[in-house]
Amino acid sequence: MNNVLREPILAASRSNRVKELITNTPITGAVVKRFVAGETDQSVIDTVSKLTGQGLLASVDHLGEDVTDIDSAKVNRDAYLSVLSQFKEHSFGNGVEVSVKLSAIGRALAGNGEDIALGFAREICVAADAAGTTVTLDMEDHTSADATLRILKELRKEFPWVGAVLQSYLLRTQNDCQDLAYEGSRVRLCKGAYKEPASVAFQDKNEVDRSYARCMSILMGGGGYPMLATHDPRLIEIAGALAIRNKREAGSFEYQMLLGIRPDEQIRLAGEGAKVRVYVPYGTDWYGYLMRRMAERPANLVFFLRALLTRS
């Protein structure tokens, strides 16, 4: 979070002019491919088939968030139903699940947005169940956390396997970890990707990391199924130590990383017998996702700019 480029890049992610420039640049396609599976169901099937062939698991995210009308929410719901029916056909089982942003299926719509998102999420859960797999609810900015956890609670009454996401940068997250560390509870722990005020979130990167270690300790010591989403070598090392201390078998928790980030480490961990799930975004609405990855790590930005400059 002490990355000086983070704020300008996040600002660019909200600029329509920058968006137009980047999405209309021909090379972008090739660069985006490192972080995004593609725009179609087939591109997802190809990507997850490759990953599962390497001994990895996947969680597929249909890109799109903050919809402002019900029709767009339906389009996003239908995209999940379509890709889940393909997963069923390919018999991926729970090796390939889906991740859903509730704002993509209507949560922020005025009036009854929360009910709409719950209804659509339920339909997605039914389709996931039929495909023999699970759904994890992504966590968005802090203003949506309570609504997301309320929807999680409702869904878990019917589908106890629905996964939650908690973000270690939020001051509240240690308590949320305690609440959710019960038997059968799937919880993905990440650092958090949004710009949050000091009133609700740690601002210092080291604080966020220390909070991650504390939260991980609660989850690994509890009865649930921790999903440790980080590329951070120090935290991955601590996870290994916590697994030993809590006598956790390799299959009782998993590591998670993003498509295109530390792929060698993903394969190394899987080779050691760990469960490793790769987050695979796809769809036409990849711009905001890509910009968040750039904001996180200047090296990703350098990779992107170099590709733009060497295009001709």
In the range 227-256, which residues lie near ligand FDA by CB under 6 A?
Answer: 229-233, 256
- Smallest distance from ligand FDA to CB 231, Å: 4
Q: Which of 88, 129, 194, 221 binds ligand FDA (CB under 6 A)?
A: 194
In the range 129-188, which residues lie near ligand FDA by CB under 6 A?
Answer: 138-139, 165, 167, 188
Q: Which of 77, 186, 188, 292 is catalytic?
A: 188
Sign of the C-alpha dihedral computed for residues 16, 78, 167 and 278 taken in this order: negative
* Residue nearer to ligand FDA on the CB measure, 257 or 274: 257
Q: What's the rounded Cα separation, in Å, for the pair 10 and 8?
A: 6
245 has catalytic annotation: no
In the range 270-289, which residues lie near ligand FDA by CB under 6 A?
Answer: 279
* Residue nearer to ligand FDA on the CB measure, 94 or 112: 94
Q: Which of 258, 269, 270, 274 binds ligand FDA (CB under 6 A)?
A: 258
- Smallest distance from ligand FDA to CB 303, Å: 8
66 has catalytic annotation: no
- Are 96 and 134 a contacting pair, CB within 8 Å? no
Task: Name residue 39's amino acid.
Answer: E
Q: Which of 70, 261, 301, 307 binds ligand FDA (CB under 6 A)?
A: 261
- Are 222 and 189 a contacting pair, CB within 8 Å? no
In the range 15-44, which residues lie near ligand FDA by CB under 6 A?
Answer: none
- Are 35 and 290 a contacting pair, CB within 8 Å? yes
Q: Which of 66, 262, 288, 307 binds ligand FDA (CB under 6 A)?
A: 262
Distances (CA, A) of 210 to 186, 221, 258: 22, 17, 21
- Smallest distance from ligand FDA to CB 262, Å: 5
Q: 164-167 and 186-190: which strand pairing?
A: parallel
Based on the shown chain and the rule CB under 6 A, indicate whether residue 257 belongs to the binding site for ligand FDA.
yes
* Residue nearer to ligand FDA on the CB measure, 73 or 190: 190
* Residue nearer to ligand FDA on the CB measure, 16 or 143: 143
- Judged by the rule CB under 6 A, the positions of this chain that interact with ligand FDA are 138-139, 165, 167, 188, 190-194, 229-233, 256-258, 261-262, 279, 296-297, 299-300
Catalytic positions are 138, 188
